[in-house]
């Protein structure tokens, strides 16, 4: 409270120019707490970034009491006895969610292009648009010349994503006999593993986009991943 009182001397209510329906601000930024979601839109199509992934976040948070079989830490704080739970949560919240908000707030300028915080925002900045779908790297065109989808590209994407999620099965095979996996049982394990892989898909996709200009892995008429 003391800090707030003294801080408030130096801060006046931040008012910008009056809203104008005929003028869209560039960049159009959501309120700060939504900027993580807005940042996700860069990497996924709106249906995935705006609907599917947030839904999984909520479902995942709701599922925690049911899939967390570790009874340690009740009534007291412990890191040593809950290493995985704490680390995974911290990765999801601090590393992914908070850093996406920071990225969206301070590192994005006009056109939602990437600007360093000390760089001047140039509204006329031009960025080369060279993103391609992953299949193109393997010589499979996503679309035919007449703009219809190439079924082979879809097969390629489905295989790749299927392969990614099959990692959970492979891990189950390997660790089938470990104490933790046994304790969880098949259902809890599959839910946890699915949610974990889905969460990890975000940094993977971000890496692919930033390092290899990958647009989508799977393109379907209804949604793209």
Partner 1 sequence: MNRLLQLFSRRAETPIETRDYGKVYFALAALLFFGTMWSVVDEVTTRRPWKDFQQEYLELSASQWEKKKAEAVAAMDSAALKEVETQLSEAQAKLSSPEVVSIKKQVNDLEEALLDLNRDFTFAKSRGDEAYYFWKKALHEGKEDPGAKKKLDENESEMAETNSRIEELNSRHDSLAKIVDGYTQIVKAVRAKSKDLHAAIDLATSKIEKAQSSPIRIHQVMRNNFDRSNFGIPKARIDRCQTCHAGWKDEVMLDAKQPFTSHPLPELLKIHDPEVFGCTPCHHGQGTALTAGMAHGDDDHYWEWPLLKGKEVYASCNSCHMNETFVKYGDRYNLSKRLISESGCFGCHEIKGYLEMPKIGPQLNQLVVKETPEWLFRWVRNPKDYNPHTRMPNFKFTDDQAEAIAAFLMSLGNQSRYHPQKGAAGTGNADHGKELVGQVGCKGCHVIENDTRMRDARGRSYDIAPELTRVGSKINADWAYEWVKNPRSVNPDARMPNLRLTDQEARDVAAYLMTLKDDRAFEQKVMNLESPQTIAKGEKLVREYGCAGCHSIKGMEKESRVSVSLNNIGRKRVDELDFGDKTAAEVPHTWDDWIFNKIKNARTYTTDRIFSKMPVFAFADSEIVALRTLLRGYTKELPEESYQQAYGTRLMEIEAGRRLTNFQYNCSGCHQIEEEGGYIKATLDDEGYAPPYLYPEGNKVQEPWLHDFLKGPTPVRPWLTIHMPTFGLTDDEITTASRYFLALHKKELGLRDYQSVQPDPKYVAVGKKLFEDLQCLSCHYTGKIPEGKTPADLAPNLSMAKNRLKPEWIVDWIINPDVIQPGTRMPQYYPDLKEASPFSQDFAGDAREQIKALREYVLTIQSSK
CA separation for the pair 221, 131 (Å, rounded): 19
Does 17 contact partner 1 by CB under 8 A? yes
Query: Interface with partner 1 includes 127 (CB under 8 A)?
Result: no
Among 11, 13, 19, 128, binds partner 1 (CB under 8 A): 19
Is residue 123 a contact point for partner 1 (CB under 8 A)? yes
Residue 44 C-beta: closest distance to partner 1, Å: 30
The reply on whether position 129 binds partner 1 by CB under 8 A is no
**Site size for partner 1 (CB under 8 A):** 17
**Is-contact 153 219, C-beta < 8 A?**
yes
Helices 151-175 and 179-212: crossing angle in degrees, nearest 10, is 150
Query: Smallest gap, in angstroms, from Cβ of residue 15 to partner 1?
Result: 7
* Residues constituting the chain: 225
If one asks whether residue 128 binds partner 1 (CB under 8 A), the answer comes out as no
> CA 43, CA 30: separation in Å to the nearest integer?
17
Backbone dihedral region of 101: left (phi > 0), alpha (psi from -120 to 50 degrees) or beta? alpha
116 is an interface residue for partner 1 by CB under 8 A: no
| In the complex, minimum distance from the CB of residue 23 to partner 1, in angstroms, rounded to a whole number | 8
Q: How far apart are CA 224 and CA 220, in angstroms?
A: 6
- Nearer CB in complex with partner 1: 21/221: 21
- Distance of alpha carbon 191 from alpha carbon 198, whole angstroms: 11
Cβ distance to partner 1 smaller for residue 4 or 173: 4
> Which span sits near partner 1 by CB under 8 A: 9-17, 78-86, 192-200, 215-223?
9-17
Q: Report residue 77: phi and psi, to 5°.
A: -95, 135
Residue number, 26 or 187, with CB nearest to partner 1: 26
Candidate ranges 17-25, 30-38, 66-74, 191-199; the one touching partner 1 (CB under 8 A)? 17-25
- Is there binding between residue 21 and partner 1 (CB under 8 A)? yes
Residue 108 backbone phi and psi in degrees, to 5: -115, 135
22 binds partner 1 (CB under 8 A): yes
20 lies in the site for partner 1, by CB under 8 A: yes
118 binds partner 1 (CB under 8 A): no
- 111 in the Ramachandran plot: left (φ > 0), alpha (ψ -120 to 50) or beta? left
Count of Cβ atoms closer than 10 Å to residue 54 Cβ: 14
CA–CA dist 118, 107 (Å, integer): 9
**Which chain residues interact with partner 1 by CB under 8 A?**
1-2, 5-6, 8-9, 15-22, 26, 123-124
């Amino acid at each position: 409270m003391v800090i707030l009182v003294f801080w408030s001397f130096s801060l006046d209510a931040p008012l910008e120019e009056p809203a104008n329906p005929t003028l869209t601000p560039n960049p159009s930024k959501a309120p700060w707490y939504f900027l993580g979601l807005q940042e996700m839109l860069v990497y996924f199509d709106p249906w995935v970034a705006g609907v599917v992934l947030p839904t999984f976040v909520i479902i995942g948070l709701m599922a925690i009491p049911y899939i967390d079989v570790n009874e340690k830490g009740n009534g007291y704080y412990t890191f040593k006895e809950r290493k995985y739970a704490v680390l995974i949560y911290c990765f999801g919240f601090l590393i992914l969610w908070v850093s996406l908000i920071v990225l969206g707030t301070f590192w994005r300028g006009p056109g939602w292009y990437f600007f360093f915080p000390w760089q001047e925002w140039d509204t006329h900045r031009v960025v080369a648009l060279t993103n391609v779908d992953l299949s193109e790297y393997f010589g499979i065109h996503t679309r035919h010349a007449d703009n219809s989808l190439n079924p082979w590209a879809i097969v390629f994407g489905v295989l790749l994503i299927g392969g990614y999620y099959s990692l959970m099965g492979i891990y189950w095979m390997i660790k089938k006999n470990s104490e933790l996996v046994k304790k969880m049982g098949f259902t809890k394990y599959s839910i946890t593993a699915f949610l974990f892989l889905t969460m990890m898909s975000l940094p993977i996709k971000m890496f692919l986009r930033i390092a290899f200009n990958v647009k989508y892995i799977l393109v379907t008429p209804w949604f793209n991943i």
